[in-house]
Structure 1
Amino acid sequence: MMTSRVMLKGLGLILSLALIGYLFDSSDLGNAINETWVDAHIRGHGLQGTLLFLAMGALFTAVGLPRQIIAFLAGYAFDLLPGTLVGALAALLGCLTTFLYARIFGKSLLRDRLGTRAARFDRFIHAHPFSMTLLIRLLPVGSNILTNLAAGISSARMAPFLAASFIGFLPQTLVFALVGSGITVAPTLRVGMAAVLFLASGMLGAWLYHRHRHGLGIDDKVDAALGEAEQS
């Protein structure tokens, strides 16, 4: 099962984002950041602001910025439910960008480095591409950008990979959008709710991985973090 170290790292990320939110509201630096980007260019700018956020989020997640940070910022900019959808869509666009780069331009460049990972990805999702990709996205561990690159140079079909990715992004996006949002509950309660949701989603992902992996694995580090070992 999932190690306590994995859960502590995730909870630490939630708490650090809560601290960022506090600094946004209470410090001059936080106010300057708000004014120069979110407040100046996103909030109150309608469709233009939303498209700008999506472009920024797609770019940042495409190059490896944690999608949880984008989810936090989406919650701050758009509130909880709209922020969850915008944050997940931004992560999906970043996923699509990286996937297409690897598929169109990066196969020869990435094959030596990610060939083994891509082959394991192929084996993992071969029989059930949608459900197994969804399973990968529900896990609280693993590298988002490496998964996107490996999928791009694998034989994975784009449509089920993207559809399952979007659905799989939603739980963690909701968690971090909750931390970033200004919903009218006490900050401690808001962070506590996010921590409980993170633990629940992480435990669900780990349980499903244990239940449905059928001896396959996508990455040695992921298997080790979840207390699994690939079977031959």
Structure 2
Amino acid sequence: MYQKIYSLFASKALQKGLLFLLVCATLGGLISTLPLFDSFNRQWIDSAIRNNGALGVGYFIIFSAGAMAIGCPRQVMAFLGGYAFGFMQGTLLSVAGAVIGCTLCFFISRFLLRPFIKRRYAQQIFRVNDFLKDKPMAKTIVIRLLPAGNNLLTNILAGVTDVKARHFLMGSAIGYIPQMAIFALMGKGIVVLSIWKIGLSVLLFCISTALSVRLYKQYKHSKLIQVKAASPDSEPVRA
């Protein structure tokens, strides 16, 4: 039991994610409390985003989709969504922006940049294609649940693999939700200075990371077993 807990906290995915969560919380707290940012934070967000109706929602979705399409971490946009719109709406809008950004990258890579991407990232493409070729939607969900990783590179590499667009995009949309919800909750907690919301987001982040790492290892282990079973050198199983 203790060994499993230790291995979880020793994982690079959790350490990077917690560091990122801490950075978001610190920056959000500074923006919320320092007078220097008064004209930038609530006044600007209230006038341009939160109280601007459908136009404000449109601005946020376009901005978040464009930012994530060029490599902005999706957790940052979820944090800003929670800060501007609250937990529920911030989660939904940031997920929508992430899916749009993912779709743009995927199809640009597939139809416009395929020759360049295949030359530049041949080994990475092989690994991604090998991982996603069986149960692509479920495995895409697992990839998106992981807090670490390069979202932009994943979208680009997937675009030139054999995975079908609908499987990758639907898996991404579902897999984005837990992480986006956690960071949107953190953003909302910063706005209202709610310690319990911030603490809950950290707890949920740890749980989500533990589950995602476990699922990823299970898929990798099952893949290794399949490869060994298919090997001509493997011995037959005896009763």
TM-score clears 0.5: yes
Larger RCO (CA under 8 A, 6+ residues apart): 1
Unaligned runs of 5+ in 1: 218-229
Report the structure number with the largest CA radius of gyration. 2
Q: Please give the per-residue CA displacement for 1:5-48, whole angstroms capped at 9, x wherever unaligned.
A: 43232112212212222222212332232267533321111111
Structure-2 change in CA distance of 1:37 and 1:112 (3 Å): farther
2:69 to 55, 59, 62: 62
Q: Contact 1:74/1:87 (CA < 8 Å) preserved in 2?
A: yes
Percent pairwise identity: 35
Pair 1:178–1:168, CA change in 2 (3 A): same
Counterpart in 2 of 1:169?
176
Determine if contact 1:79/1:183 at 8 Å carries over to the other structure.
Answer: no
Partner of 2:203: 196
4 and 133 in structure 1: CA distance in 2 versus 1, 3 angstrom threshold: closer
2:237 alignment partner in structure 1: none
Secondary structure of the structure 1 residue equivalent to 2:148: coil
- 8 Å Cα contact 1:62-1:145 kept in structure 2: yes
Change (3 A) 1:6 1:120: closer
Aligned to 1:30: 37
Residue-pair matches, total = 220
> Separation in 2 of the partners of 1:6 and 1:59?
25
Q: CA deviation at 1:121?
A: 1.4
Does the Cα contact within 8 Å between 1:34 and 1:40 map onto a contact in 2? no
Q: Larger deviation: 167-176 or 23-32?
A: 23-32
Matched, 1:91 2:98: yes
Is the aligned partner of 1:141 residue 2:141? no
Regions of 4+ moved over 6 Å: none
Indicate the SS of the match to 1:32. Answer: coil
SS of match in other structure, 2:41: helix
Asked whether the equivalents of residues 25 and 190 of structure 2 are also in contact (C-alpha less than 8 Å), the reply is no
Please state how far the C-alpha of 1:213 moved relative to its aligned partner.
Answer: 2.3
Instruction: Tell me which of 156, 165, 174 is aligned to 1:158.
Output: 165
Per-residue CA distance 1:177-210 (angstroms, 9 max, x = gap) = 0111158975322221111011000000001111
Secondary structure, counterpart of 2:162 in structure 1: coil
Q: Report matched runs for 1:30-49 at 5 Å.
A: 30-34=37-41, 37-49=44-56
Distance in 2 between the 1:100 and 1:29 partners?
Answer: 42
Partner of 1:115: 122
2:39 match: secondary structure: helix
Counterpart residue type for residue 66 of structure 2: L
Taking only aligned residues, the RMSD between alpha carbons, in angstroms, comes to 2.3
TM-score (norm 1): 0.86
Name the aligned partner's letter for residue 207 of structure 2.
A
Q: CA deviation at 1:135?
A: 1.2
Matched, 1:80 2:99: no
Which amino acid letter does the alignment assign opposite residue 159 of structure 2?
Answer: G
Structure 2: tracts of 5 or more residues without a match: 1-6, 232-239
Q: Distance in 1 between matches of 2:160 and 2:220?
A: 22
Superimposed CA distance per residue, residues 105-135 of structure 1 (whole angstroms, 9 cap, x where no aligned partner): 1111211222221221111111211111111
In structure 2, how many angstroms separate the alpha carbons of the residues matched to 1:40 and 1:198?
31
Q: Of 10, 24, 49, which aligns to 2:17?
A: 10
CA distance in 2, matches of 1:169, 1:214: 24
1:221 aligns with: none
Name which of structure 1's ranges 206-215 and 51-60 shifts more when overlaid on structure 2.
Answer: 206-215
User: Cα–Cα, structure 1 residues 55 and 185, in superposed 2: closer, same or farther, change >3 Å?
Assistant: closer
Change (3 A) 1:172 1:110: same
